[in-house]
Amino acid sequence: MSSSYERIFDIPIGPQHPALKEPAMLRLKVDGEHVVGVDLDVSYNHRGIEKAAEYRTYIQNLYLIERICGICNVAQTLTYCLAVESLHGKEIPPRARFLRIIAEEISRINSHLLWLGVAAHEIGFDTFFMHVWLDREITLGLMEALSGNRITSSYNVIGGVRRDVTDELLARIRKGLDELEPRVKRYREIVLTDRSILKRTQGVGLLSPADAVATSAVGPTLRASGIRSDVRADDPYSSHDQVPFNVVASDGCDAHARILVRLDEILESIQMCRYCVQKLPSGPILQRLLRRTPPGEGLSRVEAPRGELFHYILSDGSDKPYRCKVSTPTLANLPALVRMLTSKGKYVVNIADVPVILASIDPCFSCAARVEKSGGV
Amino acid sequence: MDTAILSLLQTLAFPGFLFLAVSSFFYEWLDRKIYAWMQFRAGPLSAGPMGILQPLADFIKLMGKEDITPAYVDRRIFGAVPVLMVAITLTFWAVIPVTGAAGLVSFRGDVIFAVVAMTFFCILVFLGGFSSANRFSLLGAERATLQLLGFEIPLMLSVTGVCIHTGGLSMAEIVSWQAENGWSVLGPQAIGFFIFLIAAQAELERIPFDIPEAEQEIVAGWLTEYSGRKLALIRLAKDMELVFVSGLAVALFLGGPVGPSPSGMEWIAYTAYFLLKVAIIVSILAIIRGLFARARIDQMVSFGIRYLVPLSLAQVAATVLWRLF
């Protein structure tokens, strides 16, 4: 942009910064208000969970894996259980599969609402933030009714789910969803019409479909660039082939499109939950499995709220995994993030846009902290 | 002798320094309560009835906190800015009419004097940020100065409209004109009132124009390095500035403190009117704060130059035509 290097100086966003909820380092090179370069470092929070998993039994690991991410804990345990179950090679009861979908979709709604509030906060719209988080309480209440816990649900276990549902509970879930749906529709209307939101999000954080594929972005970030890719549809892992739903995508390619994709996904999830509640099969909720897992390699992938989540388990036939490997959606989205943050030609990134772009991939750096340094992606 | 003591009391207590400090704490509480009410929150709750003493408690707490001056700051400017901010607000407060048509000090041209206060405040923000030797402070200071370009011209023009409308250049003239002919906001100055409120929001660095201290972008902007006593003074000055700007809006657009009152009790009734009208302005400003997302600095400046400046020019033209016919 400018040829004189004196004008360009570094702005450190992180490791501690109000825009970041977790430690990460974005070293921005700025020329006035324009970002001309970015260097990303997410290696501040290595927690050694994969190694710790090798010292615990498969059942103990459920509660460890769950703590990789608080918000997508249902997706984490689901992926882990699917990987272990694939080693056993036994069918999971249909009722458990449907209950897993209900838990997964409620947690997706929960995660997307949380994200919407954070996104509103990043553009300084605290009123919207507070209203959204008040309605998020509905999903937290449903999660508590379903599993006994608001956040860390421990709902999925190897071979099925932990708790069964009663008819009263199903009625309560239906009521909660009915309460939530008009609210989400209202938020969608606000996001589509409020000028101050449009001004801050449209044309911000552009990621072309070609770039999205080239940087292997996942989840809503990918779908907001117009690519219809969703593990639930491409590789149905838990009776998703029996539940009708649409893969939401948008051609906007910017931060605004990412908000809309997530809001539409909430509406889709509400429909999916309703369908599962209505068509819930009867039968057992748990398939008993041996404590010792047969030797082999277990692989699974799940569409977590943030995108494709991937677990790999290597078993040596004992009751503890020999190796456990997790790849989270945030890690897959980091290269796309760096590309979005770099000004190119007519596309200029302002410092004010950085928190918006950062929030738009829904980052969870603590989940992704498995790498030494991803700078210069 | 008596008059000397009386004017000293007027300056120090009522309607001078003490009154301004107490009312600024009250209006900060009101602002926070309305903002919280818009967000389904409770707002300040525990200190005093309905949390009314919370701003005072915050101030006392901040005064007792450790005051850090970083090694590389320009010590003299860095330390002078908070004191100057309070001093300037207290000084300019003297021209705002509270107990009658005229303020403590009244002279021809005190409207211009009051408007200059806004620019002074902005210069102090710039100095504070610039002397902090911090990247975030520097960006905040730069943004504050850019923002001045966006809102200062419309602000001055909206005040000009009132002066043309009422034919006076002093607060006393403007207020007594309104007492006879009705509030100036009811004429073509309605546009001016609207522009003044937007500009005031930018001057006070509140959402949607809290760009110089945007938390999610540049931590606390120009305030980043301030702590302890200095931060307490800056926050006090900002609260007092809120009352000052609202008081200015009341005097210019809402007829000042003057209204019907029982004879002999004028100053009590006028003070009550003043407090009520300032509360209205503060409420409007708080509601604006709750309704918008933060603008980007380029959007703010282009909004000011593209829309506010032509609008305020049109308002001045309309006022001139209204005066001629």
| ipTM score for this prediction | 0.85
What average pLDDT does this structure show over B213-235?
86
Percentage above 70 pLDDT, chain B: 100
Report the pLDDT value the prediction gives residue A143, as an integer from 0 to 100. 92
Domain count, chain A: 1
pLDDT band at B1 (very low <50, low <70, confident <90, very high): low
- CATH code for position A303: 1.10.645.10
Of A224 and B11, more confident: A224
> Containing H/E element for A35?
strand A34-41
Cis bond leading into A182, ω under 30°?
no
Contact present, A342 and A76 (Cβ < 8 Å) = no
pLDDT band at B103 (very low <50, low <70, confident <90, very high): confident
pLDDT(A293) > 50? yes
Would you say residue A242 lies in a domain?
yes
> pLDDT digit string (tens) for A202-246?
888 888 898 889 988 898 999 999 888 888 888 888 888 888 888
What average pLDDT does this structure show over B198-226?
85
Would you say residue A1 lies in a domain?
no
Quick check: helix, strand or coil at residue A310? strand
Rounded Cα distance between A182 and A266, Å, is: 11
Give the domain range for residue A259: 49-329
* Residue of chain A nearest B212, judged by CA positions: A352
Reported pTM? 0.88
Cis bond leading into B15, ω under 30°?
yes
Contacts of A194 in chain B (CB under 8 A): 293
Contact present, B285 and B206 (Cβ < 8 Å) = yes
Would you say residue A20 lies in a domain?
no
Contacts of B143 in chain A (CB under 8 A): 33
**CA distances for B20 relative to A95, B14, B58, angstroms:** 68, 8, 17
pLDDT(A6) > 70? no
Provide the 8-state DSSP code for A240. Answer: T
Q: Six-digit token pair at B88?
A: 């300037």
Q: CB–CB of B217 and A199 under 8 A?
A: no
pLDDT(A339) > 90? no
What average pLDDT does this structure show over B10-25?
84
Residue B291: partners with Cβ closer than 8 Å, 6 or more residues away: A127, B38
* Residue of chain A nearest B293, judged by CA positions: A125
Report the pLDDT value the prediction gives residue A369, as an integer from 0 to 100. 64
Residues 198-257 of A with CB under 8 A from B: 199-200
Give me chain B's average pLDDT, please. Answer: 87
The residue assigned the tokens 């609210």 is A183
Q: Residue A202 phi/psi, 5° resolution?
A: -75, 135
Rounded Cα distance between B257 and B248, Å, is: 11
B33 min Cα distance to partner chain A (Å): 13
Q: CB–CB of B294 and A200 under 8 A?
A: yes
Report the pLDDT value the prediction gives residue A1, as an integer from 0 to 100. 45
Q: Which of A304, A299, A323, A300 is nearest to A368 (CA)?
A: A304
Quick check: helix, strand or coil at residue A227? coil
Report the pLDDT value the prediction gives residue B287, as an integer from 0 to 100. 92
Contacts of B299 in chain A (CB under 8 A): 199
pLDDT(A110) > 50? yes
Would you say residue A12 lies in a domain?
no
What average pLDDT does this structure show over A348-360?
87
Each domain of chain B, given as residue ranges in start order, spans 64-324
Q: Which of A120-124, A268-272, B86-90, B257-261 has the lowest mean pLDDT?
A: B257-261
Q: CB–CB of B293 and A17 under 8 A?
A: no
The residue assigned the tokens 């149905």 is A236
Of A369 and A85, more confident: A85
Would you say residue A80 lies in a domain?
yes
Quick check: helix, strand or coil at residue A38? strand
> pLDDT digit string (tens) for A126-163?
899 999 999 999 999 999 999 988 888 889 999 889 88
Separation of CA A347 from chain center: 27
Report the pLDDT value the prediction gives residue B133, as an integer from 0 to 100. 82
pLDDT(B120) > 90? no
Rounded Cα distance between A214 and A339, Å, is: 11
